[in-house]
Every structure is written in C-alpha cells, then in structure tokens.
C-alpha cells in the first residue's frame, strides 16, 4: 500500500491480518479452550492497547503483560479486561498491582505472603496464578515445592488461586520435551482441589503442535502477529504478517566500480552502480547485523542493503531500477516472503521476537483496517504533541486529566460533557465565535394592549458556515430548545405563551450578510416559526468572516417584569443595550456572565441601559442578562 504517510520511517500494523491470524489460531483450539492475548513489550511492538482491543473483540478472555508498568499503562488508557502479569513481580510493586487491579503470577511463598499483607490493608481479595516450572528452569516454582506453595497460598484469606500455569521451553520444535513438561504440569493439576478457573501452559506455537492437555486457556503471542517460529508450521496454519516497516528514498547516488561504501568501506562496488540512501538505521530498530545481508523492496523489486547499517541510514543498491525516484517507498520488513521478520532475523541468526520489539519501539505506528489508515500512535515521541491526536482522543485526554485532578472519574466525565463538549465535541462543529456583538433592543408603547412592542437589532461578525441560516421563534421553551442544538440557527426568540404564533407577532424586518439583503421564507410547523434566510451569493462567502445584521419585531407582555437575553455562542466582546419607555421607572440588571469577565460594565442613562464587556474579552455560551423592571 503506497499511503500518504511521509514520515522518515514508519510501521504499519495490519489489523485485518491480525484478526485473520487469531481466527486461524482459534480454529485450532477446542471449543472450551479460551485464549489470552499476550501484549507484553507493547504487544511485541505492535501496540498493546490496540492489539488488546482487537483481541478482546475477537474473544480474548485475558491480556498478558510482562510487568506492572505495562499493566498500569493499559489501565490508564482505559483497558478494563483482566490482566495477568507473566514475569515475577517484585514486592515493592504489590501496591500498584492492587491499585490497578492486575493479577500476578506467583511462584514463591514469600511473595504470596507479602501480597496477603498488603491485600489485608486494602481490604481486598487478590486473584493470582500459581506458576510451575515444568522443565524450562526459568521462573516458576519447582515441581517438588509446588504442593507446599499451593497449600500455603490456599490458606491465605486474601488470596484467590484463580489460575495455574507453566511455560514451554521449545514448543515450536521439541515435541518430546514439551510432552514431558505437559505431563509434569498435569500431575500438579490433578492434585489441586478445587480446580482453579484457568489452567494454561500453551504459547502460540504449542497451540499449533496441539500441546494443550488439560488446559482451558492458551496464551497467544508471536503467531498471532503472523510470524512463524518453525518452518513446519507453514503446512499447519496460514499466517499473515501484521507489521510492516517502511521508509522512503532520501537520496540517489552513483558509485564507481572498486570504490568502498559506508563505515569501514565494508562493501566494494563490483561494477558502476546506482544506490539509494534510506533514512533508517539501527537506532530505528533496523538491526546492525543486517549489514551487507538484507534486502529491501522498492517498486516491487528486491534490492540489496550494501555496506554497514549506520545509526540513522542505510544504503541500497538500486542499479536494477532505473526509474527509482526520491520519495519512493522502501519496504524494509513486511508481508513479502524474503522480508518477513522471521526471514530477516534468520539472516543473522537473531530472534524474530526481538526484531519486532526493536522496530516497534521507535517508528510511528499506523493502524490499517481494510487497507486504510484508521489511526496512528506517536511512539517516536515521548512528549505530548497535541496535533498527533484525533479530536476524540484529545477529548478523552482532557476528560481524564480533569478526572485525575478531581480524583473522580464521574465528575471528570460530567464536566467534560457539560462544558468542554459544548465547544469541542463534534469535528464538524468547527469552533467559530462571534465578535463585535451588539444587540440593540427597544421596548416601546404600542397599540396592542398590555404589551410592549419589541424591536431588536442584532449585529455581529462570524465565519459564515452555510449558504443559509435560520431564525427561529416559538411560544414555549420546549419547542425553542430544539433550535439551541442546531448549529445553523443564528437567532432565537421566545414569544410569551399567551401570544399566538403568527407572523404578526414575530416579524423578521430585515436580514443582512455584509451588504446583501437576504431572501426569507417562513414556515410554521411543530409550534415554531422557522425563517430560512438565504441569497444566491452567500455560497461565495462560506468560510469567510462576514457581518450579520438581523432585525426583528415582536411583542412583549408588560406584566412579565423581566426580559432575558442569552449568549449561547462563544463571543469575543459583548454589548447589549435595552431602551425602554418612560413608563418603566426602575430597571435592574442582573448579568450572569461566565468567561473572562464575570462583571460587565453596566451604564444607565435616561430611558436606556447598556451592558458591555471590553471588545477583546471572551464570553462563554452559558451567559446571559436579566433585565428586571
């Protein structure tokens, strides 16, 4: 896939391939055998959160991590699945194990006792998995000591033995030894009463070699990432490489026959050659041991890596591709046979596990779903760069920052929903604001008994969103509410509920955008007057800042004794003027402002009052003024 990615080097994670591999592996598991997705070391460089999410959607019951830190990170990122810590934990990590609801593997009584003590303090019960060393002689309790550990751990009030496990030393190739491990494992399981909920020993290679025995869960790692661990597996399971590592040609040069290239001139040109500089090196995880050994793919042709791999560059012989150009995509590792991680690591007798981890550590990761980039994570940078994140991700970050500060998730959610989302929620709601806002209202005596005539002129500047907008009026708040959530409404008026909804009582006298007098069309439906304001030339102004002028006439009951103005959009500077007839003796002003200035200036003069902030002060959309008389 030649994408629009223009990083110096990057990793593509093909989630469809990952799902495919999981389906293949699941088809080898008996019906009642669950699986744990191993996501340690950031899911072998593929991204623990994303791999965990997809695995759970494919039925994973558990996630497996190497240590507390990895589990904690998943929790902070919102992962709720059960998480098992595979490597032995340290006693000083127990508090975090409890805080982050992680489950440790236990192979020492002293650790179980320390866990018991801390769990008592927190008044919690902790699930553990006992780990047997069935012959690998790495972590785990020796067979002879298992029984003691089991009985002691069982007697601890705060400890629940949720699982029992072991690990194969060579399940990909040594069936005989693996079978002996399996037998040792099963000998202890039959001693356990009651049987723990989870019994597991098989890694992904063991699944292919049917080394499950009494297990009811398998732990899937490398094969789920599409990397074979033994040639014999190719007949038994079809896997697709999930990770691709790519870069681009940064420079093209010529070298004469007999000249040396790179550090220590380890490559001597056998003929006049053309070569490309690719800006990726061992610091990016492209192993130094691939020097003078590996191939890369450019324009679907394999080309040799020549000279030593440098920290940040490699050289590639492109003599056979005359049309190679700067910025051509270079596949360093991926789904091409010779470039599969297991093939590359074979070139230097290295480990494909290691190669995946080291590549995934630095390069920015792009997740592909159905051949399109669904999102990316900036692994190359440890610092927060806000433009790397989608709006949704940013909203989550803001929300979790508030929750963290208040130590209350619910409150964080509430605040972000009520206030922040008001501004930022939908991507299609670009945040536009009003400025030079002047709302001029005149109440005057008229021939309608018990009512003032109300004349309103609203002027403001704003970026025009559409080639039309709506002016709305209703005689009950509920109906008008609908127009508060719509973004194409520029003016709303609440008519007193004693007044019939008709053009006689709510009249749009004039409406302008810049110098254009707009056409209006009125419809009355669902107890609202909706006036559509448009002009053929408006479409040329969309996206530009324009001056709105809206003039409306209506009526207001004298007996109401108060008149309210709402500011329901972000506004840069507010001025509201109310003129009133002599009949009104006393006008009280109650501004309810939020934003930079909670106390706008109020100035009275005979027959009018003005409420005003400085022109450069931000007023938030939950503001308003009550005029009481």
Closer residue to ligand PLP (CB): 62 or 282: 62
The kind and range of the H/E element at 577 are strand 571-579
**In the range 539-578, which residues lie near ligand PLP by CB under 6 A?**
none
Q: Is 371 left (phi over 0), alpha (psi -120 to 50) or beta?
A: left
Residue 257 and residue 277: Cα distance in Å, rounded?
18
| Beta-sheet pairing, 251-255 with 329-333 | unpaired
Strand partners for 128: 161
Q: Is 186:211 a contact under the CB 8 Å cutoff? A: no
Reply yes or no on whether 61 is catalytic. no
Report the residue number, 344 or 456, with the smaller CB distance to ligand PLP: 344
Burial class (CB in 10 A: 0-12, 13-18, 19+), 327: exposed
Residue numbers 53-92 binding ligand PLP by CB under 6 A: 86
Is 609 a binding residue for ligand PLP by CB under 6 A? The answer is: no
The reply on whether position 281 binds ligand PLP by CB under 6 A is no
Q: Strand 516-517 vs strand 506-513: parallel, antiparallel, or unpaired?
A: antiparallel
Size of the site for ligand PLP (CB under 6 A): 12
Residue 166 lies near ligand PLP (rule: CB under 6 A)? no
Q: What is the smallest separation between the CB atom of 138 and ligand PLP, expressed in angstroms? A: 9
Please identify, using beta-carbon distances, which residue of 143 and 252 lies nearer to ligand PLP: 143
Contact 140, 166 (CB under 8 A): yes
CB 56 within 8 A of CB 48: no
Query: Should residue 132 be labelled a site residue for ligand PLP when binding is judged by CB under 6 A?
Result: no
Q: Which is nearer to ligand PLP, 218 or 306 (CB)?
A: 218
Measured CA to CA, the distance from residue 134 to residue 112 in angstroms comes to: 20
Cβ closer to ligand PLP: 167 or 535? 167
Shortest Cβ 402–ligand PLP spacing (Å): 37
Nearest to 183 by CA among 163, 208, 166: 166
In the complex, minimum distance from the CB of residue 141 to ligand PLP, in angstroms, rounded to a whole number: 14
As a whole number of angstroms, the distance between CA 411 and CA 413 comes to 5
Of 214 and 590, CB closest to ligand PLP: 214
Nearer to ligand PLP, 137 or 271 (CB): 137
CB of 172 to ligand PLP, least distance (A): 8
CB of 222 to ligand PLP, least distance (A): 3
Of 184-192, 218-226, 272-280, 391-399, the segment contacting ligand PLP by CB under 6 A is: 218-226
State the binding string over 172-211 for ligand PLP (x if CB under 6 A, else -).
-------------------------------xxx------
Backbone angles phi, psi at 295, to 5 degrees: -120, 160
CA angle 593, 595, 600 (to 5 degrees): 45
Q: Of 234, 253, 257, 263, which is the active-site residue?
A: 263
Query: What are the φ/ψ torsions at residue 597 (nearest 5 degrees)?
Result: -130, 105
DSSP for 160-187 reads: EEEEEE---SSTTT-HHHHHHHHHHHHH
* Shortest Å, Cβ 44 to ligand PLP: 7
Q: Is 468 a catalytic residue?
A: no
Judged by beta carbon, residue 219 or residue 442, the one nearer ligand PLP is: 219
| Nearest CB to ligand PLP, comparing residues 105 and 501 | 105
Looking at 135, 196, 221, 600, which residue binds ligand PLP (CB under 6 A)?
A: 221
**Closer by beta carbon to ligand PLP, 205 or else 209:** 205
Query: Residue of minimal CB distance from ligand PLP?
Result: 221
Considering the rule CB under 6 A, would residue 134 count as an interface residue with ligand PLP?
Answer: no
Closest distance to ligand PLP from the beta carbon of 40 (Å) = 6
- Residue 21, C-beta contacts closer than 8 angstroms, at least 6 positions apart: 223, 224, 225, 226, 239, 240, 242
Burial 529-552 (b: 16+ CB within 10 A, else e): bbbebbbeebeebeeeebebbbbb
- Spell out the SS3 assignment of 548-573: EEEEEEEEEEHHHCEEEEEECCCEEE
**Nearer residue to ligand PLP within complex by CB, 189 or 522:** 189
Query: By rule CB under 6 A, what string of x and - marks binding of each residue 346-385 to ligand PLP?
Result: ----------------------------------------
**Which of the following is catalytic: 40, 246, 308, 575?**
40
Shortest approach of ligand PLP to residue 346 CB, angstroms? Answer: 17
Contacts to ligand PLP from residues 442-481, by CB under 6 A: none
Q: What ranges make up the beta strands (E) of 181-294?
A: 198-200, 217-220, 243-248, 251-255, 260-261, 267-268, 273-278
Say whether residue 38 binds ligand PLP (CB under 6 A).
yes
**Residues 85, 69: Cα–Cα separation, whole Å:** 10
Of 126, 222, 296, 318, which one interacts with ligand PLP (CB under 6 A)? Answer: 222
Return the residue matching tokens 């002060």.
617
Q: How far is the CB of 370 from ligand PLP (least distance, A)?
A: 26
* Distance separating alpha carbons of residues 369 and 554, to the nearest angstrom: 56
Q: Is the backbone peptide bond immediately before 194 cis, with ω within 30 degrees of 0?
A: yes
Distances (CA, A) of 432 to 435, 543, 544, 545: 10, 10, 11, 10
CB of 192 to ligand PLP, least distance (A): 19
Q: Which stretch binds ligand PLP (CB under 6 A): 16-24, 27-35, 221-229, 239-247?
A: 221-229
CA dist., res. 163 & res. 218, Å (int): 12
- Strand-by-strand arrangement of the 519-525 sheet: 489-494, 468-474, 528-534, 519-525
Q: Which is nearer to ligand PLP, 38 or 611 (CB)?
A: 38
Determine which residue in the list 219, 308, 365, 442 makes contact with ligand PLP, applying CB under 6 A. Answer: 219
- Does residue 340 interact with ligand PLP by CB under 6 A? no
Instruction: Give dist(CA 547, CA 161) in Å, integer.
Output: 70
Shortest Å, Cβ 254 to ligand PLP:
44
| Angle, helices 175-189/143-155, rounded to nearest 10 degrees | 30
8-16, 217-225, 300-308, 595-603 -> range binding ligand PLP (CB under 6 A): 217-225
Determine if 167 is a binding residue for ligand PLP (CB under 6 A): yes
Minimum Å distance from CB 33 to ligand PLP?
Answer: 14
Interaction site with ligand PLP (CB under 6 A): 38, 40, 86, 167, 203-205, 219-223
Q: Which residues are catalytic?
A: 40, 263
């Amino acid at each position: 896939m030649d994408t629009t990615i223009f990083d110096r080097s990057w990793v593509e994670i093909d989630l469809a391939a990952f799902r495919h591999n999981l389906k293949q592996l699941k088809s080898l598991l008996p019906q009642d055998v669950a699986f744990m997705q191993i996501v340690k070391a950031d899911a072998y460089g593929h991204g623990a959160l994303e791999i965990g999410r997809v695995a759970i959607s494919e039925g994973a019951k558990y996630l497996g991590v190497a240590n507390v830190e990895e589990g904690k990170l998943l929790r902070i990122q919102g992962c709720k699945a059960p998480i098992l810590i595979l490597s032995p934990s340290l006693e000083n990590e127990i508090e975090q194990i409890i805080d982050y609801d992680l489950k440790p593997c236990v192979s020492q009584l002293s650790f179980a006792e320390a866990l018991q003590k801390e769990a008592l303090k927190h008044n919690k019960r902790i699930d553990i998995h006992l780990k047997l060393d069935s012959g690998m002689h790495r972590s785990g309790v020796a067979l002879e000591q298992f029984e003691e550990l089991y009985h002691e751990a069982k007697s601890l009030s705060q400890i629940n033995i949720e699982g029992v496990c072991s690990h194969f030393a060579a399940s990909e190739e040594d069936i005989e030894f693996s079978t002996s491990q399996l037998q040792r494992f099963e000998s202890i399981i039959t001693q356990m009463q009651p049987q723990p909920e989870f019994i597991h020993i098989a890694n992904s290679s063991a699944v292919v070699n049917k080394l499950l025995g009494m297990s009811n869960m398998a732990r899937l790692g490398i094969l789920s990432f599409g990397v074979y661990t033994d040639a014999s597996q190719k007949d038994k399971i079809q896997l697709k490489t999930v990770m691709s590592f790519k870069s681009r040609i940064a420079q093209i040069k010529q070298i004469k026959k007999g000249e040396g290239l790179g550090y220590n001139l380890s490559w001597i040109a056998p003929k006049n050659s053309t070569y490309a500089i690719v800006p990726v090196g061992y610091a990016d995880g492209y192993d130094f041991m691939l020097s003078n050994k590996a191939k890369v793919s450019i324009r679907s042709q394999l080309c040799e890596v020549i000279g030593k791999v440098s920290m940040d560059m490699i050289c590639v012989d492109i003599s056979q591709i005359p049309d190679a150009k700067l910025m051509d995509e270079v596949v360093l590792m991926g789904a091409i046979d010779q470039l599969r991680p297991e093939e590359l690591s074979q070139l230097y007798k290295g480990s494909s596990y290691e190669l995946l981890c080291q590549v995934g550590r630095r390069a920015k990761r792009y997740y592909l779903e159905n051949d399109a980039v669904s999102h990316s994570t900036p692994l190359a940078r440890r610092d927060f760069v806000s433009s790397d994140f989608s709006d949704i991700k940013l909203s989550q970050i803001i929300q979790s920052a508030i929750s963290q500060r208040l130590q209350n998730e619910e409150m964080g959610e509430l605040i972000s929903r009520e206030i922040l989302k008001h501004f930022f929620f939908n991507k299609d709601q670009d945040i536009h604001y009003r400025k030079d806002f002047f709302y001029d209202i005149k109440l005057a005596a008229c021939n309608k008994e018990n009512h003032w005539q109300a004349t309103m002129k609203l002027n403001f500047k704003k970026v025009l969103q559409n080639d039309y907008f709506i002016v709305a009026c209703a005689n009950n708040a509920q109906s008008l509410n609908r127009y508060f959530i719509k973004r194409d409404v520029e003016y709303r008026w609440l008519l007193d509920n004693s007044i019939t909804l008709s053009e006689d009582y709510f009249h749009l006298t004039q409406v302008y955008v810049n110098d254009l007098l707009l056409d209006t069309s009125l419809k009355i439906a669902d107890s609202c007057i909706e006036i559509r304001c448009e002009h053929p030339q408006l479409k040329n102004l969309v996206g530009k800042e324009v001056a709105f002028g809206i003039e409306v006439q209506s009526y207001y009951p004298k007996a109401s004794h108060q008149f309210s103005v709402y500011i329901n959009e972000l506004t840069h500077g507010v001025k509201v003027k109310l003129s009133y007839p002599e009949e009104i003796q006393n006008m009280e002003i109650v501004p309810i402002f939020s934003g930079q200035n909670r106390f706008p200036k109020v100035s009275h003069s005979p027959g009018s009052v003005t409420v005003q902030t400085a022109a450069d002060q931000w007023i938030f959309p939950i503001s308003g003024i009550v005029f009481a008389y």
